[in-house]
Chains A and B, each alone.
Chain A
Amino acid sequence: MPMIQLMNIEKHFAGQTVVHPLSLTIREGEFLTLLGPSGCGKTTILRMIAGFEQPTVGEIFLDGKDVTELPANKRDLNLVFQHYALFPHMTVEQNIQFGLKMKKIDAAEQKERIGEAIRLTQLTPLAKRYPHQLSGGQQQRVAIARAIANKPRVLLLDEPLGALDLQLRKNLQAELKQLQRSLGITFVYVTHDQEEAMMMSDRIVIMNNGKIEQIGTPKEIYNRPQTLFAATFIGENNVFHEAERMFAIRPEKLKAVRDREQKAKRKGIIQDIVYLGNVHKLMVHLNDEQTTVSICLDFTDEDEWQIGQHIGVDWFDADEVNIGL
């Protein structure tokens, strides 16, 4: 059941194409992440869905209805802004109440919904505080509480954890995922952090330069990247060029072959050895190609590798992932 459909949308700013023609279907109840480097158009797409920007070309459907022309305040979805955009002159409670007041929901239900949103986001002791009296993580919760109190069909989140430190991010990532499961709301999440995307999403849309590179589950994207960009943007990858084709192989799928006589697909010299606790990595410069590949070996590897050592690099044909350009 599609919740949001972007049909051939395109966005130009001052004659410059920021979002190239793209179509995307977001299913009801899924956690979909737009992932891509800075400036690739993630926020622009989110703002078009929210109604703050009009697509130059194309239509947007929300729950089967054409909302392309509908102003933001009439769309049944909510956006969690990157820097929260909390109302400074209102308490936590009043911030959460704002949307309910605008929708003229009766007082008893307002109270109930505010209470629920506050409980879900664990803000109970802070309800009477003003935003400037809260930490970054707490403000972030208020922004989410303010959005979910409206019981929207879709929640749009623009790098909601971007301003927080790593530890807090990790905690909130798990909390957000949990919240999405328990509410069953469709989440459209924007980030440029690939780990975050992998960990939270049902599906990931990889974007580059205003274009979609690939759409898929985290597993599909990791195992079967379709473009060079997708192959190298998520996780570490080794790209090989051969006469007519290009393919990628993950470091953990490469094998280091000690015996020089033994047949291997490539030959090279160990440039560096990196120990990372349970795994170690060999950085191998290939003889015939001007590239360095990385080979990831786990704890079962007992060999004594040395920098400067000549080795063979081998893999199974099945682990080659063909990529287009």
Chain B
Amino acid sequence: MKKTKWLISPVVLWLSLFLILPMAIVVVISFLGRDEFGNLVIQFSLDNYARFFDSLYLGIYWDTIALSVLTTLICVLISYPLAYYIANAGPTRQKIWLLFITVPFWINFLIRTYAWVLLLRSQGVVNSFLMDIGIIDEPLKMLYTKGAVLLGMVYTFIPYMVLPIYVSLEQMDRKLLEAASDLGASRWRAFWHITLPQTKSGMMTGSVLVFVSTAGMYVVTDILGGSKSTMLSNIIQTQFLGARDWPFGAALSVIFAITSLVLIYLFNMALRSRHERSKEGRA
């Protein structure tokens, strides 16, 4: 009786339908085979995983991790000062800034990304401008480089970092800074010893969001990176849509999901201070 009740609870239903079930299907497919027309063949094989250890795929795998980590780092470095500024600005200014940060969400993502193409290409806005004022004679190659992809990723995901950091700054008890000052801390030391540790959770949330989103993003790479900067998500996309090799695509997905979980776990451990763990122990 109790058991059936538990099974039909909406949360469980929702989770199984939209999260667990698709994941399970992906895991199952990753162990299957396929025939030459791309149809699934029911069998158990580890071939799909074995194929991953080809140097081509391993290289792309590391590139993807490196790009995602770099994107996350740059986002933290830009977002923290920005969020700090917003959180300490007057109420009207805060509203305006938050609006600025959320406005891009209202505009189609593809359009925003293509706008970068217009800016970065050889005859684009940036090159024309630089040549007009005589800083360069030949157009710089900016589009279809790793740098362009990085720029696109940072641009796309910065709001995911700014907002959680802003929220954690807002939630911090300002009296703590007065207490620090009362105990002899300069503003900088109060920031370092109090504000920064108190806003770790915001940085953590933002970092997970940015990292996972970057690793899973293939549109930015497609549009700004050209053919040379392929990411794991591009390969996965190709396997499912182009090459019709679902089992291999599924295996890559599983590998990347596990990698993300491990990285997020490590990151969590590194950032989390002892007191937060002790809090959990108590709860």
Nearest neighbor of B278 in chain A, beta-carbon distance: A130
**In the bound complex, do residue B183 and residue A99 qualify as a contact, i.e. CB atoms below 8 Å apart?**
yes
Q: Is the CB of B185 within 8 A of A73?
A: yes
Q: Write the chain B residue with the least CB distance to A97.
A: B183
Point out the residues of chain B lying under 8 angstroms from A130, CB to CB.
275, 278-279
Once A98-B193, A133-B278 are accepted as A-B contacts, the answer to whether A85 and B179 lie under 8 Å apart by CB is yes
Residue B22 is within 8 A (CB to CB) of chain A in the complex: no
B185 & A89 in contact (Cβ 8 Å cutoff)? no
> Which chain B residues numbered 230 to 247 have a C-beta less than 8 Å away from chain A?
none
Measured in the bound complex, the distance between the Cα atoms of B179 and A71 in whole Å is: 13
From A88, A91, A150, contact of B183 by CB (8 A): A150
Secondary structure of the B side of the interface?
A: helix
Taking the nearest CB of chain B, how far is it from the CB of A143, in angstroms? 9
* Alpha-carbon distance A50/B273, docked complex (angstroms): 31
Q: Are B183 and A78 in contact (CB under 8 A)?
A: yes
Residue in A71, A98, A132, A133 whose beta carbon sits within 8 Å of that of B180 in the complex:
A98
A305 at interface, CB cutoff 8 A: no
B75 to chain A, nearest CB (A): 24
8 Å CB interface, B173-194 against A: 173, 175-176, 178-186, 189, 193-194
Question: A292 to B142, alpha carbons, bound, how many Å?
Answer: 90
**Per-position binary interface string of chain A over residues 85-111, scored 1 when its CB falls under 8 Å from any chain B CB and 0 otherwise:** 111111100000011001100000000
Closest residue of chain A to B184 (Cβ to Cβ) is A102
Minimal Cβ-Cβ distance residue in B for A83: B175
Q: Which residues from chain A contact B282 at a C-beta distance below 8 Å? A: 132-133
Q: Closest chain B residue to A129 by CB distance? A: B278
B198 at the interface (CB under 8 A from A): yes
Q: Do B175 and A87 have beta carbons less than 8 Å apart? A: no
Interface residues on A, range: 20 to 34
Given contacts A89-B273, A90-B275, are A103 and B184 in contact (CB under 8 A)?
Answer: yes
**B275 near A88: Cβ-Cβ < 8 Å:** yes
Q: Do the beta carbons of B198 and A89 come within 8 Å of each other?
A: yes
Q: Which of A89, A91, A102 interacts with B197 by CB under 8 Å?
A: A89
Cross-chain contact A73 with B184 (CB below 8 angstroms): yes
B172 to chain A, nearest CB (A): 10
| Residue contact B275 to A146, C-beta cutoff 8 Å | no
Can you list, as one digit per residue, whether each of A72-87 has a CB less than 8 Å from chain B (1) or not (0)? Answer: 1110001101010111
B175 touches A85 (CB 8 A): yes
Within 8 Å CB of A103, what residues of B?
184
Out of A81, A86, A88, A99, name the residue touching B178 (CB < 8 Å): A81
Cβ-defined contact, A87 with B178, below 8 A: no
Which B residue's beta carbon lies closest to that of A50? Answer: B182
B contact residues around A99 at 8 Å (CB): 183-184
Task: Decide: B179 and A81 in contact? CB cutoff 8 A.
Answer: yes
**A-chain residues with CB within 8 Å of residue B194 when the two chains form the complex:** 87
Find residues 19-66 in chain B having any chain A CB closer than 8 Å to their own CB: none
> Would B275 and A81 count as touching, CB distance under 8 A?
no
Q: In the complex, are the beta carbons of B183 and A146 less than 8 A apart?
A: yes
A98 and B198 contacting across the interface, CB-CB below 8 Å:
no
Q: Please give me the residue from chain B that is nearest to A75 by CB atom.
A: B182
**Are A72 and B178 in contact, CB atoms less than 8 angstroms apart?**
yes
Distance from A97 Cβ to chain B, minimum over Cβ atoms (Å): 10
Q: How far is the CB of A12 from chain B (nearest CB, A)?
A: 20
Asked whether A81 and B279 contact (CB < 8 A) given A50-B182, A73-B182, A89-B273, the answer is no
Complex CA–CA separation, A28 to B4 (angstroms): 73
Give every chain B residue within 8 A of A50 (Cβ-Cβ): 182
Using known A-B contacts A52-B178, A102-B189, A130-B279, determine if residue A88 contacts B184 with beta carbons closer than 8 Å: no
Q: Which of A78, A86, A132 contacts B182 (CB 8 A)?
A: A78
Q: Which A residues touch B182, using CB under 8 A?
A: 50, 52, 72-73, 78-79
Residues of A within 8 A of B189 (CB): 102
CB-CB < 8 A to A74: which residues of B?
Answer: 184
Chain A, Cβ-Cβ closest to B282: A133
A74, B185: Cα distance in complex, Å: 9
- Indicate if the CB atoms of B185 and A102 lie closer than 8 Å: yes
* B173 partner residues in chain A, CB cutoff 8 A: 85
Q: Is the CB of B186 within 8 A of A73?
A: yes
CB pair A98 B275 closer than 8 Å = no
Chain B positions within 8 Å of A132 at CB level: 275, 279, 282
Residue among B180, B198, B279 with most chain A CB within 10 A: B180
Which residue numbers of B lie inside 8 Å of A, CB to CB? 173, 175-176, 178-186, 189, 193-194, 197-198, 273, 275-276, 278-279, 282
Can you offer 11 A-B residue contacts whose CB atoms are under 8 A? A73-B183, A73-B185, A79-B178, A81-B175, A85-B173, A88-B275, A98-B193, A102-B180, A102-B185, A130-B275, A146-B183
The 5 closest A-B pairs by CB, nearest first: A99-B183, A102-B184, A85-B179, A85-B175, A72-B181
Having A74-B184, A78-B183, A81-B178, one finds 5 other A-B pairs with CB under 8 Å, namely: A87-B176, A89-B273, A91-B275, A102-B184, A132-B275
